[in-house]
Amino acid sequence: MCGIVAALAARNVQGILLEGLKRLEYRGYDSAGMAVMESGALMRQRAQGKVAALEEKLAERSLTGSIGIAHTRWATHGKPSEVNAHPHLAGDRVAIVHNGIIENFEPLKRELESDGVVFESETDTEVVAHLIDRAFATCHDLLAAVQSVLARIDGAYALAVMHVDAPREIVGARKGSPLVVGVGIDENFLASDTLALLQVTDRFVYLREGDVVRLSARHGIEVLTADGEPAARDVQVYEHGDSAASRGDYRHFMLKEIHEQPAVIAATLEGRLSGSHVLESSFGVGARALFERVKQVHIIACGTSYHAGMVARYWLEKLAGIPTTVEVASEYRYRDVVVPENTLFVTLSQSGETADTLAALRYATSRADDLTEQDGQGYLATLAICNVPGSSLTRESDLSLMTQAGPEIGVASTKAFTTQLVALMLLTLALRRSRGDEREAALVQALRGLPGVLDQALAMDGPIAALSEAFAEKHHALFLGRGTQYPIALEGALKLKEISYIHAEAYPAGELKHGPLALVDADMPVIAVAPNDELLEKLKSNLQEVRARGGELFVFADEGVALTAADSLRVLHVPAVDEFLAPIVYTLPLQLLSYHVAVLKGTDVDQPRNLAKSVTVE
Ligand code: F6R
């Protein structure tokens, strides 16, 4: 949801800011802009559309200066247009970039208008620019001016501000949206994520909720808490290198990330298995003792991560015998949740910054406090399964397990999802009471072999590319699965609609006859995920219901499933694997299918319309 980058250096920063924006484009791509201090004046370039449009403008009229801020936008207040693009200025004195939403911007705007301020844009951000302009006119200190304005605004923000009369300073702040400081040698940076700055440094300070930071030529980096107290924040070294920012030989990031799955799953397992069991210490200090007390699990997530949680419910109940609920964060956070004794609260998030998931965690924590006061009950502990080290979700949870997917750039989540599933299988085994039995040993062995099976699944790419032609002209598609494959069908449908804009729905196959069967005809391709499990025979009956209505069926099944291709039935063979790991393996062909359909349709695979990665607004 919008990307911010800022630089204060001794060299020209236009190239650094532009490269930072390209790396942040996954966060929003409605418009982009940059402001640089040029000989004591604020100079700005903005363009509607992607960063490439800004780059073209900069090629015509470049910006030259050693201090600047830049932004790529995912529109919330005001349509995508050049006039609404950041940076926003106030009186040519203040320039600001902002990610998030200022909830009380309307009364503040009215107040400013009645005082004679004329607004250029429809954004909430411009209000903050004018407030800072006024505050600076009184105190003549950019940090103090920003602090006084932050005290007046409600909502979520990460922001970076410059002022012509503080020409060697940038002030940043974060609350509810991420912001990191990149630490260089005699130069410092701010950005929405580390990836934007790996081009210039591998040393970062992860700001905490409410932190305000001043980068200045005189004082370097000063961090203050929300209360204005100086705060010591560690500098952490990013150790994963910078290769993730490039597509390599792949046509799209999404395809690269699909193909990375065997390697990142191996990385997610590394150091977390010992002999034939899972090391509980992978979840953090004290996890073992806590896990022994868990009687119930609540899983909270959004979108694709929610689908991973749905798979885990089947695993936790069947393999660990632990009652489990799964809920989307945006619903959970507004419910009066009843928390049974000894419940583990688990959040799943690739980014660790999703606004609803973070709010759900905070609600769970506060609810735990309320309940503890009332009757001694509340959540036993909070656990985050997350892909971004240092993210808000991991910092605010008692325990965490990092998926090792590496940066995911494609907006449609792929490798983050399958690594979440692996992490959830580790959790299931760690919570299993009957430790050390044959089932656990078999699953640990199957997990070790999983990267190899996924390599085989990726070899389906050619046949799937051929199959995708049957979808390119279609407007709708139906996905079916049963048991753990129902969430995989949901995920397959989400991927298809996200990147190819084909309307896709998923149903548990048994529900077909309760309504959706009415939709089935020759124009509605039906995709079924059919591993050789205990529900196979039931699924086969459901598929007959489709064929009997003239529906065109595409079945992903392993070779043990006796299904013979026929006119209206195409079968694609998926490598066989332990039935509990089948949801992970079956995900890959569905990802490849949506990818190839999108490529055929010519959509923007990595940056589908209207979407952005890391949804930091509610
Ligand atoms: C879909 C997708 C989204 C995210 C959702 C949650 O491909 O990527 O549905 O899964 O926005 O994001 P995280 O996992 O970062 O909390």
What HEC string does 536-563 produce? Answer: HHHHHHHHHHHHHCCCEEEEEECCCCCC
Give pLDDT, residue 612: 76
Average pLDDT, the chain: 91
Q: Which atom of ligand 1 is nearest to the CA of 615?
A: 11
> Distance between CA 130 and CA 112 in Å, rounded?
8
Q: How many angstroms is it from 4 CA to the middle of ligand 1?
A: 20
Q: Which atom of ligand 1 is nearest to the CA of 301?
A: 16
Q: 176 near 209, Cβ under 8 Å?
A: yes
Mean pLDDT of 37-49: 95
Give pLDDT, residue 61: 95
Considering only CA atoms, which residue is closest to atom 7 of ligand 1? Answer: 412
Q: How many angstroms is it from 261 CA to the middle of ligand 1?
A: 17
Report long-range pairs for 40-44 (Cβ below 8 Å, ≥24 apart).
Answer: 40/164, 40/167, 41/92, 41/164, 42/89, 42/92, 42/93, 42/95, 42/162, 42/164, 44/87, 44/89, 44/95
Write out the catalytic residue numbers. Answer: 2, 613
**Per-residue confidence band for 464, with pLDDT thresholds at 50, 70 and 90:** very high
> Distance between CA 364 and CA 378 in Å, rounded?
9
Considering only CA atoms, which residue is closest to atom 10 of ligand 1? Answer: 304
Q: Which atom of ligand 1 is nearest to the CA of 357?
A: 16
Q: Which residue has the higher pLDDT, 129 or 440?
A: 129
pLDDT beyond 90 at 497:
yes
Q: How many angstroms is it from 406 CA to the middle of ligand 1?
A: 15
pLDDT in tens, 512-554: 889 888 888 888 899 999 887 777 777 777 778 888 888 889 9
Pocket test for ligand 1, best of 193, 304, 488, 590 (most atoms within 8 A of CB): 304
**459's tokens:** 């070899």
Question: What b/e string do you get for 539-577 counting C-beta neighbours within 10 Å, with b at 16 or more?
Answer: bbebbeebbebebbbbbbbbeebebeeeeebbbbbbbbb
Give pLDDT, residue 246: 78
Give the closest residue to 281 by CA, choosing from 272, 294, 293, 270.
Answer: 272
In percent, the amount of the chain with pLDDT more than 90 equals: 72
Residue 605: phi and psi, rounded to 5, are -60, -50
Give pLDDT, residue 546: 80
Pocket test for ligand 1, best of 253, 615, 616, 617 (most atoms within 8 A of CB): 615
> Distance between CA 518 and CA 535 in Å, rounded?
23
Reply yes or no: is the peptide bond before residue 87 cis, omega within 30 of 0: yes
pLDDT beyond 90 at 602:
yes
Pocket test for ligand 1, best of 26, 306, 351 (most atoms within 8 A of CB): 351
Which residues lie below 8 Å from residue 279, measured CB to CB, with a gap of 6+? 271, 272, 273
Q: How many angstroms is it from 413 CA to the middle of ligand 1?
A: 6
pLDDT beyond 90 at 219:
no
Q: Which atom of ligand 1 is nearest to the CA of 303?
A: 9
Give the single-character DSSP code of 472: T
CA 556, distance to chain mean position in Å, is: 28
Alpha helices (H) along 432-552: 438-458, 461-467, 485-500, 536-548
Give the closest residue to 480 by CA, choosing from 521, 511, 457.
Answer: 511
Length of the chain: 618
> Which of 273-277, 406-410, 534-538: highest mean pLDDT?
406-410
**Per-residue confidence band for 187, with pLDDT thresholds at 50, 70 and 90:** very high
> Distance between CA 410 and CA 412 in Å, rounded?
5
pLDDT beyond 70 at 402:
yes
**509's tokens:** 């196959």
Mean pLDDT of 391-410: 92
Half-sphere exposure of 298 (CA within 13 A, CB side): 26
pLDDT in tens, 364-386: 998 766 655 555 568 999 999 99
Q: How many angstroms is it from 344 CA to the middle of ligand 1?
A: 22
Give pLDDT, residue 537: 78
Give pLDDT, residue 371: 56
Q: How many angstroms is it from 570 CA to the middle of ligand 1?
A: 31
| Residue 137: Cβ within 10 Å count | 12
Q: Which atom of ligand 1 is nearest to the CA of 420?
A: 14
Give pLDDT, residue 563: 73
Mean pLDDT of 233-246: 80
Mean pLDDT of 480-485: 93
**Per-residue confidence band for 70, with pLDDT thresholds at 50, 70 and 90:** very high
CA 98, 103, 104, 110 dihedral sign is: positive
Q: Which atom of ligand 1 is nearest to the CA of 416?
A: 14
Considering only CA atoms, which residue is closest to atom 11 of ligand 1? Answer: 303
- Give kind and range of the element (H or E) at residue 421: helix 415-431
pLDDT beyond 90 at 503:
yes
Pocket test for ligand 1, best of 26, 307, 333, 354 (most atoms within 8 A of CB): 354
| Residue 372: Cβ within 10 Å count | 13
**Per-residue confidence band for 244, with pLDDT thresholds at 50, 70 and 90:** low
Q: Which atom of ligand 1 is nearest to the CA of 412?
A: 7
Q: Which residue has the higher pLDDT, 536 or 315?
A: 315
pLDDT in tens, 28-40: 889 999 999 999 9
> Distance between CA 602 and CA 596 in Å, rounded?
10
Mean pLDDT of 64-70: 97
Strands 569-573 and 399-402: unpaired
Q: How many angstroms is it from 1 CA to the middle of ligand 1?
A: 12
Across 26-134, where does the E strand assignment appear?
31-38, 41-48, 67-73, 88-90, 94-102
Pocket test for ligand 1, best of 193, 302, 361 (most atoms within 8 A of CB): 302
Give the single-character DSSP code of 85: P
Q: How many angstroms is it from 303 CA to the middle of ligand 1?
A: 5
> Distance between CA 227 and CA 215 in Å, rounded?
19
Q: How many angstroms is it from 306 CA to the middle of ligand 1?
A: 8
Mean pLDDT of 307-331: 97
Q: Which residue has the higher pLDDT, 458 or 516?
A: 458
Strands 476-481 and 503-508: parallel
Q: Which residues line ligand 1 (CB under 6 A)?
A: 302-305, 349-351, 354, 357, 412-413, 494, 498, 614-615
Half-sphere exposure of 15 (CA within 13 A, CB side): 5
Could you give the domains of the chain?
Answer: 3-245 (3.60.20.10), 248-458 (3.40.50.10490), 459-606 (3.40.50.10490)
- Interhelix angle 261-269/415-431, rounded to 10 degrees, is 30
Half-sphere exposure of 507 (CA within 13 A, CB side): 18
Which residues lie below 8 Å from residue 376, measured CB to CB, with a gap of 6+? none
Give pLDDT, residue 372: 54
